Amino acid sequence: MTDLSIVLPTYNERDNIVPLVERLLHGLSDLGDGLEVIIVDDNSPDGTAALAREAFAGDRRIRVLVRTTDRGLARAIRAGIECASGHIVLVMDTDFNHPPDQAPLLYNIARHVDLVVGSRFAFGGGMPSRTRYVLSYVYNLFMRFVLGTRINDNLSGLFAIRREALQKLDFDKIFWGYGDYFFRLLLMSQRLGLRHVEVPVLYGERRNGQSKIGIPSIFLLYTREVFRIVALRFVGKW
């Protein structure tokens, strides 16, 4: 079995995907053939998938999947996880928001626990925009209070998880929508008693391209999902 599978969901990330994968390959070079990188592209019109295939042609560690139906961030991540062969699966954004240099740390810690979260709100973490940091911190306090989560950064999306832990999760309940899949994953793994660790991460700036969804829309989407989960708990269905 492969030691580590990295899942990279992409949509219009032509200018980021090649340098990101190169950074990951360099930082994890000690793994050799024990590493695989799975690029899951939602049929990007900018040719992200074609560029990645060309750039890494002949490198058996790099796989490019193109999805033309049922597209979306969470479902792309699920597709990558289901194709992964690694003992540990690491998921991260492809816009350099999540620092690729942290991948070795997350991998090494995940060898000893069930789930590792890269956290902006653990001591030593952060992000470039002070305003976004404060807004995200306050929103996470709200989520922790309403949902009862024990993780400081419920919206991180940067995580590494052991295969044994993945096999205990209900993918149908988790992997749909946008970034809200992540707090569903945390809630379910917490309920199952999986061992969590947060490591501090300093977010980077998007290098190229544009964000897929605005901050107000994100908070509205997530708030609806938080209260949907609360309602389902009330009737015993979550």
Which CATH number do you get for residue 49? 3.90.550.10
Domain that holds residue 179: 2-234
Model confidence at 212: pLDDT above 70: no
Query: What is the distance between the alpha carbons of residues 187 and 228, in angstroms, rounded to a whole number?
Result: 13
- CA–CA separation, 170 and 185 (whole Å): 9
Q: Hey, what are 175's tokens?
A: 């992997």
Reduced to 3 states (helix: H, G, I; strand: E, B; else coil), residue 64 is strand
Task: Quick: pLDDT tens for 117-173.
Answer: 999 999 999 999 999 999 999 999 999 999 999 999 999 999 999 999 999 999 999
- Chain centroid to CA 46: 22
Q: Please state the φ and ψ torsions of residue 134, each to the nearest 5 degrees.
A: -65, -45
Kindly report which listed range (99-113, 136-150, 209-223) carries the lowest average pLDDT score: 209-223
Side chain identity, residue 182: F
Q: If you count DSSP H runs as helices and E runs as strands, how many of each does the chain have, helices first?
A: 9, 7
pLDDT at 72: 95
pLDDT tens sequence across 49-83: 999 999 999 999 999 999 999 999 999 999 999 99
- The Cα angle at residue 153 between residues 151 and 157, in degrees rounded to 5: 115
- pLDDT band at 215; cut points 50, 70, 90: confident
Domains contained in the chain, number:
1
Whole-number Cα distances in Å, 97 to 9, 40, 71, 80, 235: 13, 17, 21, 19, 38
d(CA 82, CA 150): 27
What's the number of CA atoms in the CB half-sphere (13 Å) around residue 52?
33
Is residue 102 classed exposed, middle or buried when 0-12, 13-18 and 19+ CB atoms within 10 A define those classes? buried
